[in-house]
């Protein structure tokens, strides 16, 4: 599959489940902007059956190469980012995995038993990155239990393999050419910005500035019934040139650490104005 088809398929799934993200995309396009994607991100567990390297296979097979690695001590995550070998306009791919050994025995047992349920035929296919939750219909009780130790794991347990977020390249916007302008635009349309440690993560000195909306709230079918929980979010990134005049292409762990919190649990009443 040509790599653009992979991103198109991921985008279709993403906007289908996250109409709030599609609404932002449409607002930019309606304002004359061409939305270019800076990167997408996936989450997984560090179990060797489904870890970063397993999810990366389809990208490696389609012209991508590993570019850098990152550690997030507080969240117990490890990540790699991948870039296309020849197409500079291809979005970057950021894949993180949660380090299960750092969590309680009960937490590890829950995750292991879920991974054991996966039909192994699904693991070595190009479809894995679109497959969503391939372990089981989620339990709200387990979601809440996992959330006590890791919001990241609770989200992943429910939603599985999909683009956790797409990212608007602010470098490619004409009118909204700064993160400040983008954030004002979003707030004017009643979107909630992730404000953990400030609405803008990073700085021109760090060569990358980022912001994100808080994930939209969707109704999910759990074993116990339907519950509203945060799904996926949309991110915005502006990159700067280094002293050699080369546009910075990596990620800043300190910033990404806080962006991860865009999927943290919150209640819908905070965003009643958003028509989703």
Residue nearest to Ni ion (CB): 235
Distance CA 270, CA 135 (A): 31
Size of the site for Ni ion (CB under 5 A): 2
Which positions from 177 to 216 touch Ni ion by CB under 5 A, shown as an x/- string? ----------------------------------------
Position 17 contacts Ni ion (CB under 5 A) = no
Q: Do 167 and 39 meet the contact criterion of CB atoms below 8 Å apart?
A: yes
* Distance in Å, CB of 244 to Ni ion, minimum: 24
Quickly count: other Cβ atoms within 10 Å of residue 199's Cβ: 15
Position 235 contacts Ni ion (CB under 5 A) = yes
CA distances 117 to 111, 114, 124, 264, 267, Å, are: 10, 5, 15, 26, 31
Q: Do 192 and 270 meet the contact criterion of CB atoms below 8 Å apart?
A: yes
* Distance in Å, CB of 181 to Ni ion, minimum: 19
Kindly indicate which of the ranges 8-16, 110-118, 224-232, 234-242 contains the residues binding Ni ion, using the contact rule CB under 5 A. Answer: 234-242
Distance CA 207, CA 194 (A): 20
Residues 32-91 that bind Ni ion (CB under 5 A): 41
Q: Closer to Ni ion at the Cβ: 3 or 236?
A: 236
Q: Closer to Ni ion at the Cβ: 41 or 56?
A: 41
Nearest 5°: phi and psi at 75?
-95, 0
The footprint of Ni ion (CB under 5 A) covers: 41, 235
């Amino acid at each position: 599959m040509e790599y653009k088809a992979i991103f198109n398929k991921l985008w279709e799934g993403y906007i289908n489940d996250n109409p709030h993200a599609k609404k932002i995309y449409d607002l930019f396009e309606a304002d004359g902007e061409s939305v270019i994607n800076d990167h997408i991100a996936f989450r997984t567990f560090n179990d060797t059956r489904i870890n970063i390297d397993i999810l990366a296979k389809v990208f490696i097979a389609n012209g991508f190469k590993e570019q850098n690695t990152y550690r997030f001590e507080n969240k117990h995550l490890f990540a790699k980012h991948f870039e296309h070998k020849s197409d500079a306009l291809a979005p970057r791919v950021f894949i993180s995995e949660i380090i299960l050994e750092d969590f309680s025995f009960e937490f590890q047992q829950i995750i292991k038993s879920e991974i054991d349920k996966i039909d192994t035929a699904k693991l070595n296919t190009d479809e894995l990155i679109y497959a969503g939750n391939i372990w089981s219909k989620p339990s709200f009780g387990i979601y809440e239990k996992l959330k006590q130790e890791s919001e990241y794991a609770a989200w992943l347990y429910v939603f599985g393999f999909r683009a956790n977020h797409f990212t608007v390249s602010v470098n490619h916007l004409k009118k909204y050419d700064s993160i400040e302008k983008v954030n004002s635009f979003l707030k004017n349309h009643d979107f909630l910005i992730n404000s953990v440690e400030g609405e803008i993560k990073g700085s021109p000195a760090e060569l990358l500035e980022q912001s994100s909306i808080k994930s939209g709230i969707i109704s999910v079918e759990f074993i116990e019934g339907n519950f509203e929980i945060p799904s996926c979010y949309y991110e915005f990134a502006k990159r700067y040139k280094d002293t050699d005049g080369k546009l910075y292409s990596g990620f800043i762990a300190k910033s990404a650490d806080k962006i991860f919190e865009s999927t943290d649990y919150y209640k819908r009443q905070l965003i009643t104005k958003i028509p989703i």
